[in-house]
Structure 1
Amino acid sequence: MTQNALPPFSLSQLTALDHNPPQLVGLAARTGYSHAGIRLLPAAPGGIAYPLMDDDALLAETLAVMADTGVRIFDLEMIRLDAGFDPARYGRFFEVGQRLGAQCILVAGDDGERARLIDAYGRLCEAARPYGLCCDLEFMPWTAVVGIGDAIEVVSAVRADNAGVLIDALHLDRSGGSATDIARVQREWLHYAQICDGPAERPTTPEGLIHAARCERLLPGEGAIDLDGIWRALPRELPVGVEVPNDIRAPQLGAEGWARAALEAARAIVSRAPTGKN
């Protein structure tokens, strides 16, 4: 990657959650993204997801649109680690991810028993490794992996070569972290980061945090999150997931208008960053 080149940008599923995988890939292609991330399993019970593991026709359509457009799949959402986690349940998930050429799985930690969570995460990494998939643990302030320090503790305990820490700018800010905390994350644990913005005023309840994260994100540069500081601290070549759901503004602009605006705003932030973390 040359000094002035920008990293790959991936259209995250949450930015256009109503688009199924082939539709999302097509949207990414039309609006300038090189990659897309797709949600195969719901973020919450009953939530929207597109289980390609159970729909061969939709999987074939997704692969066909990828071939036609050149857009690749970057990450798969999402596997949640709860008290009863069993990696054997996810064999078909891994197989589909491999067929799609995905690189990473987004992982959430729900088990409040830290030793059991670490064990589950280690077993997930081991199960996903043969499929070429990294397991990126995303800290979120309403989960058992609240902040960046919790994610570092879990990943460092496992010591798997496909383990990682996913830094979402919103969650870093809302969990009380800052750009300076990124120096604590080993370079090999960073596979991608997610960009968006948010207002200076932070929600004070779990319900408020969840709603803001899923429904009210701002375009990069519109809010008060220190995105310039975060991207100065991250590797310049690190792929960027553009995750900017907004239930009011996205419909006003339309899916293409919102996805294009989100990409333009993300590129503006990343282009200002120097080489960054090595």
Structure 2
Amino acid sequence: MTRAIALAALTVLELTPPEMVTCAHEAGYSHVGIRLLPATPTEPQYDIVGDTPLLREVEARLADTGIKVLDVEIFRIKPDVRAANYEAAIATAARLGASELLVAGNDPDDARQIESFAAFCELAGRYGLGAVLEFMPWTEAKNLTQAARIVERCGAKNAGVLIDPFHFSRSRSRIEDIASIPPSRLRYLQFCDVPAEIPPTMEEILHQARAERLFPGEGGVDLVGLLRAVPRDIPLSLEIPMHTLARTVGATERARRALAATKRVLAQLDA
């Protein structure tokens, strides 16, 4: 089985969605991640949900390059947002041929968050999509244990837990805890590296997460150990924003370096 490796949007966020597809192709990836909904108010926002000219351009680039869509982001579980609010974006993700929807938990009411996530999974399932909850230390699903509990309590077969080495490190999650998660819940894995030392403030952690990560193998995360704890050949999404490097190195070259670094880590796993 050939492992799917996707170029995540955050790695090359200066590009438009069609440009991201071309970048993924030129850099040697098999898949791409598409950000249909912005993660922050300061990000570029595109008219790409529904039958829009931009969506059709993305479809044309996918067809021309053979690149597939692994995941679409970002769907937030909030107190005032119902699953139905996201149906147009979910339908767009299905139209693009995505496999997974990336979900963040942003509801402080635990019971309501579980109920809302279950409703989201049910809607995603109608479109043949998985719904993966990404734990992040500044959200209401702060670590691996909390995310796994939410996923299990929601009960949906298409629900998953998304591990990102950055958040795994900063939430002080443990590799040994992955063994308690059913393999079917680990649908894909984000990939990057990060310095071993955890910054003292959440503001600094957020800055690192969104702007200054490291290529795999250049930081302090036990990436080989992490890969050994998850299903073999699990798809990888390379999410490695590096704003300082981006001042002097273009998006395609950064994407190539990210892929080369990942393959070096994978070679250690195979050895």
* TM-score, normalised by the number of residues in structure 1: 0.94
Tell me if 1:189 matches 2:189. no
Tell me if 1:221 matches 2:195. no
Match of 2:268 among 250, 266, 272: 272
2:22 aligns to what? 26
- 2:55 and 2:251 mapped to 1: Cα distance? 22
2:132 aligns to what? 136
Task: Show structure 1 runs of 5+ residues with no match.
Answer: none
* Paired residue type of 1:193: L
Q: Is the 8 A contact 2:132 2:160 kept in 1?
A: yes
* Paired residue type of 1:257: E
Give the count of matched residue pairs: 271
The runs of 4+ residues in structure 1 deviating greater than 6 Å are none
What's the CA shift for 1:51? Answer: 4.1
Secondary structure of residue in 2 paired with 1:74: strand
Tell me if 1:153 matches 2:149. yes
2:243 aligns to what? 247
Q: Is the 8 A contact 1:231 1:269 kept in 2?
A: no
Tell me if 1:199 matches 2:195. yes
Alpha-carbon displacement from aligned partner over 1:90-145 (angstroms, at most 9, x marks no partner)? 12111111110001011000111110100010000011111111110000001110
Q: Is the 8 A contact 1:38 1:75 kept in 2?
A: yes
* TM-score, normalised by the number of residues in structure 2: 0.96
Q: Percent identity?
A: 43
Alpha-carbon displacement from aligned partner over 1:54-87 (angstroms, at most 9, x marks no partner)? 5610011100010000001110010011111211
Q: CA RMSD in A?
A: 1.4
* Paired residue type of 1:120: S
1:56-67 aligned at under 5 Å gives the runs 56-67=52-63
What's the CA shift for 1:216? Answer: 0.4
Tell me if 1:169 matches 2:134. no
Q: Is the 8 A contact 1:198 1:217 kept in 2?
A: yes
- 2:126 and 2:226 mapped to 1: Cα distance? 32
* Paired residue type of 2:206: I
2:118 aligns to what? 122
Q: Is the 8 A contact 2:76 2:106 kept in 1?
A: yes
1:81 aligns to what? 77
- 2:270 and 2:171 mapped to 1: Cα distance? 25
Q: Which moved more, 1:202-211 or 1:71-80?
A: 202-211
Q: Which moved more, 1:266-275 or 1:152-161?
A: 266-275
- 2:45 and 2:194 mapped to 1: Cα distance? 25
Task: Show structure 2 runs of 5+ residues with no match.
Answer: none
Match of 1:42 among 38, 41, 58: 38
Q: Is the 8 A contact 1:220 1:266 kept in 2?
A: yes
What's the CA shift for 1:52? Answer: 1.0
* Paired residue type of 1:248: T
